[in-house]
Each structure stands twice: as C-alpha cells, then as structure tokens.
Copies of this chain bind each other. A is one copy, B any other.
Amino acid sequence: MAEIFKRLPSLPSERALKVISGRWKAVILYHLFDGPRRLSELRRLVPAVSQKVLIQQLREMEEHGLVHREIFREVPPRVEYSATALGQSLEPVLLALCEWGQRHAEELGEVDQVGDCIIRPRQGA
C-alpha cells in the first residue's frame, strides 16, 4: 500500500472538494448512505463503473475516512463497504451541492437535463 501520505490542500473547502470529487464518489456515497453494500451490489447499482475504478474510488474514500471496509472470511469471501460517521456527515453537504446544482441548471435553462436531489429515506437497516 502506498505509504506516501498525499497531503490534502490546507484550504478546508479545497480539502473537502478534493476528497469528494471523484468521478463516482457521490453516487457511491448515495448508495452507502442507505446502508452497507457489498462490492457486487455496488457493481449492480452503478453499472457504468468498471470494477477496477469502483474499487479505486472506494479505497480512496477509505483512506480519507469516509468509508469503512469490512472483510468477512466466508466462502466465497464477502466484503462490505459502509459509510463512516464522517462519511455520513457528507450527506447535508452533498445535498447542498445538489440543490445548488439544480439552481445552476435552472439558471442556465438546462433543468430538463438534471435529476432531482432525492436522497432515498433511510430504510430500516
């Protein structure tokens, strides 16, 4: 594992941006907000990502403390990814970004091109 501690920006907002902005991180997080997910599940949920990149994004988020990775030594092996408290604390931030993104789309007359900000309400687990 790369021990090289890549330092994050010292400007907090830049730090946050750096940590959140990966091609698939927002989507992955949305799914993890709903509860722990196995890799295979995430692959189903986000079919557009390749396995390699999916793992890549997850590992980066793990390194940044957003995601917890738990290995269950079963057969076949099972690995569960879940959002840490720190990860969960991103929910309102992502919501703010989402709402602003919508406003942005509106002001540029591209509302039809964007989805909504519904974050699936926590379901049981």
Contacts and interface: CB of A to CB of B under 8 A. Distances in A.
B16 A101 contact: yes
A96 interface: yes
Contacts of A116: 12
Interface string A101-125: 1111101101001111100000000
Chain A: interface size category: 35 or more
Interface of A: 7-8, 10-21, 26-27, 64-65, 86, 89-90, 92-94, 96-105, 107-108, 110, 113-117
Contacts of A96: 92-93, 96
A54 to B, nearest CB: 16
Nearest to A111: B12
